[in-house]
Structure 1
C-alpha cells in the first residue's frame, strides 16, 4: 500500500463508523485495524496485539532511521451506547451503539499518520497506541499498569487528539495547561429507618437527609473553591422510597465531580466527605460515600511540548490554529499524561451536533487536513 488517498481514508472511516463497539469489546474494530495496517509497508515496523489485559488493543512501533527519542501517538477506538439518528447510508450496523464521540475519525487520522511514516521512515521512533475503553473502563490506565509501555515501547512523549464539532473542519485547537477536566464518580448511600408516613417520630427519613446533603453540596463550589478556578459537582440520580405513604429508610445519590486540576478534585472530595459526616451526625443516620476516579485524571498538557506544538501551528501556513478554553468533559488520556510528558489537542470537525449526540456527523474533510497538519508537526518535532 502506498499513501492512502482521501477517498480511501473516507471509506475506512465509514467502515469503522458501521462497526462501533463498547469498551473492551472492540473485536471487529481491532480486526479491521489490523487488516488495514497489514496492507501497509511494514519493513521498519512491528505490530503488537492480543495483549492479555487489553485483547482489543493494537500497537505499532516504527523504527526511526536515526532515533533521538520515541514519540507516542494514541487514538481511542471504542464507541457509546447511543441509538444513531443520522440517517446516513453508512449508519451503525450494531443496534444501540454508535461512534457518537467521533472515535471513528480519531482512528482514521491515526491510520493516515501511521501510513505516512511507514512510507517515509521517520528520524525518531514512533509508537502508535490504538486504545480500547476510553469511554469507560480506563483503557489507558489498564495499559500502563499492565506494563505495555516498557523498553522499546516506552514513549518519551505522548500525543493525542479529540474531535471538536465547534471548530472549523481541520482546524487544530489547543491551550497551555488543562484541556479536559478530570472526572470522579461519587455514590452516596443514606441508611436510616423506614416507617409509616403517619408516624414520622418512629422513623428516620432518608429523603430529608439526602435532600439536605444535596443542598449543602451546592455551597462547596460557591464557597469552598476559588472562583477563579473551576469545578463541578452534579448529582444526576436520586433513588429513595417505594410508595407515597411509607417513609424511606434509605436513599442513594449518584453523581460526578469535575475539576481542571487533580488538586481541585481532591479538594472537592475532601469537602464532600465533610458534608457527609455532618449529615450523618445531624440526622442520626449512616452515610456511606464512595469515590471512583479510575484513569480519568485532568488532561494537563506538558508546558514545553504544548508551547512547541502551538508555536508550530501558528507558524505553519497550512494549519488553522485556534486557542481554546478548557472543557469540563473527561478523557482518560489524562492518566497517560500523568505518566508521560505530552499534549492533547482538538481537531475541528464542524458539526451542528455535539459530542455524544445521536446525530453527530463530523465533516470528513477534517480527516486529511488533520493528518497533514500532524505529519508536519511530528516532522518538525523530530528536528526541534
Structure 2
C-alpha cells in the first residue's frame, strides 16, 4: 500500500473488524507497521519497544527542525459484544472498538501519511499506544524511557472521538479536559451462616451495603462543589441463594476528579471508610485503589492557546470550546510530563455513548479531522 492509494475508510473498517484487548494488540500493531513500512519514506524511522511489544513509534525527521511534535493514537479495544449490525462488525466475539480507537488510529495514519509524503519542517513522533483502556500503556512507555533524546516530543497532541458532537467538529478547552480516575477493587471477607441466625455470622453483604452508601458522602461532603468528583460502585457480587449469608463479597468501582489533589483526598477517604467499617462489622476489607497513569488531562496553556487560536480563526474548521468531562484517559499522565493538548473530534452518533455496544461513528469525521489536524500542525511548525 502506497501513500497515494491510502483508503482511510477501508483501513478504519479493517481495524474495527479486528479489535484486540489491552496488551494483546499484536495483529493491530503488525497491520499498522505494514502500512507505514510500505511507504518507504526516506525521512521516516520505525521503532518498537521490546518490553511493550504492541507499541509502535514512528519518527519523521524535519527539514529545519526547531522542535519535535508528538501525536498519539491509542489502539486497544474493549471487552464488549458488538451489536451494531454493521457489515464490518467485530469478527472477535466479546471484543469491540466501542470507544472509537479505530477512528483514532485511522486519523493518525492520515496525518502521518501526509507528512511522510511531504517532509515536515519540525521533527515529528507518532505514538500508536497500546493499553489505554486499562494498564495505562502511556505511563508504562514513559517509565521505560521511551521518550528520550530524538524520541522526546517538545509538545504532544491527541484526540478522543465524541459521539455527542456532529461529525468533524473539534472541541477543547484551556485547563482540565478530562478527569483523573482511580479503580476501586474491594474484597470483603466475613463469616457465613444460615440466614435465620445472623448473630452467628459476620455479614459481608451488610458491610458491603454500608460501604456503598458511605462512599456516596465523599463527594457531597468532602469535595469543593465547584471542583466536581464522582465515586461509583459498578459491581457488587455476593452470595448464591437468599437464605445463606455468604463468606465473601466483591465490589469494584471508580473514583474521578478534575484535580489530582482532590483525587488523592478522595482515595484517602475511601481507605478511612473501609477501615472504619472493617471494625464496625467485624469483617476483613482487602482494598486496592489503582490510579496508575490515569491522571487528569490538564491541557498545557501554551499549546492549547495556539490550538484554539488556529482552530477558531480557520473558517473551514468547525470548532468550539467545551466543558470538562469526567471521562478518564491515560494521556493525562503523558501531558503531565510533556506539555500538550487533547481535544474532541465529533463523530455524530448522539444516540449512543462511548463504550456502547451499538456505537457507530460517522466515518465522514475521519477526513475532516485529518485535514484540520494537518492544517494546524503545518501552521504550528511555521511559527
TM-score (norm 1): 0.95
Comparing 79-88 with 344-353, which one deviates more in the overlay? 79-88
Would you say the 8 A contact 2:184–2:252 is kept in 1? yes
Question: Matches of 2:171 and 2:332 in 1, distance apart?
Answer: 17
What CA distance in whole angstroms lies between the structure 2 residues aligned with 1:153 and 1:212? Answer: 50
Query: CA offset at residue 226 of structure 1?
Result: 0.8
The residue number in structure 1 matching 2:311 is 313
SS at match of 1:338: helix
* Higher mean C-alpha deviation, range 246-255 or range 149-158: 246-255
Instruction: Give the Å deviation of 1:104.
Output: 1.2
Q: Give 1:207-226 correspondences, 5 Å limit.
A: 207-226=205-224
Q: Which residue of 2 aligns with 1:355?
A: 354
**Segment drifting more, 261-270 vs 284-293:** 284-293
3-state DSSP class of the match of 1:25? coil
Residue 76 of structure 1 pairs with residue 74 of structure 2: yes
- Deviation of the 1:97 alpha carbon: 1.6
* Deviation (angstroms), 1:41: 4.3
Q: Distance in 2 between matches of 1:246 and 1:22?
A: 37
Matching residue of 2:190: 192
1:117 corresponds to 2:112: no
Counterparts in 2 of 1:237 and 1:215: CA distance versus 1, 3 Å:
same
The answer on whether the counterparts of 2:347 and 2:361 sit within 8 Å (CA) in structure 1 is yes
Per mean C-alpha deviation after superposition, the further-off stretch among 327-336 and 234-243 is 234-243
Q: Give the corresponding residue for 1:334.
A: 332
Question: Displacement, 1:191?
Answer: 3.1
Picking from 246, 259, 264, the partner of 1:248 is 246
Q: Equivalent residues in 2 for 1:53-202 (5 A)?
A: 53-202=51-200
Answer yes or no: is the 8 Å Cα contact 2:227–2:259 preserved in 1.
no
**Is 1:32 the equivalent of 2:24?**
no
SS at match of 2:328: coil
Match of 2:113, SS state, is helix
- Aligned partner of residue 329 in structure 1, secondary structure: strand
Give yes or no for contact 2:2–2:38 (8 Å, CA) kept in 1.
Answer: no
Counterpart contact for 1:41–1:119, Cα < 8 Å:
no
User: What SS is found at the alignment partner of 2:124?
Assistant: strand
Deviates more, 1:182-191 or 1:373-382: 182-191
> What is residue 235 of structure 1 aligned with on the other side?
233
1:336-355, Cα deviation, whole Å (9 max, x unpaired)? 11211101101111113221
Q: CA deviation at 1:292?
A: 0.8
Choose which of 279, 291, 294 in structure 2 pairs with 1:293.
291
Structure 1: distance between partners of 2:233 and 2:76:
26
1:364 corresponds in structure 2 to: 363
In 2: Cα distance, 1:294 partner to 1:94 partner: 28
Spell out, residue by residue over 1:314-362, the C-alpha distance to the aligned partner (whole angstroms, 9 max, x if none).
Answer: 0011111021121112111111112111011011111132211222221
Distance in 2 (alpha carbons) for counterparts of 1:340 and 1:133: 19
* Residue 48 of structure 1 pairs with residue 42 of structure 2: no
RMSD, aligned CA:
1.7
CA contact (8 A) 2:84 2:359 kept: yes
Distance in 1 (alpha carbons) for counterparts of 2:146 and 2:338: 13
Q: Aligned with 1:181: secondary structure?
A: strand
Displacement after TM superposition at 1:308 (Å) = 1.3
Cα 1:4–1:105 change in 2 (3 A) is farther
Query: Residues 87 and 306 from structure 1, CA distance in 2 versus in 1: closer, same or farther, beyond 3 angstroms?
Result: same
Pairwise CA distance, 1:187:
1.9
Q: Which segments of 5 or more consecutive residues in structure 2 lack a partner in the other structure?
A: none
- Residues 108-147 of structure 1 deviation map (CA, whole Å, 9 limit, x = unaligned): 1111111111111111100000111111221111111111
Aligned pairs, how many? 382
Q: How does 1:2-21 map to 2 (within 5 A)?
A: 4=4, 8-21=7-20
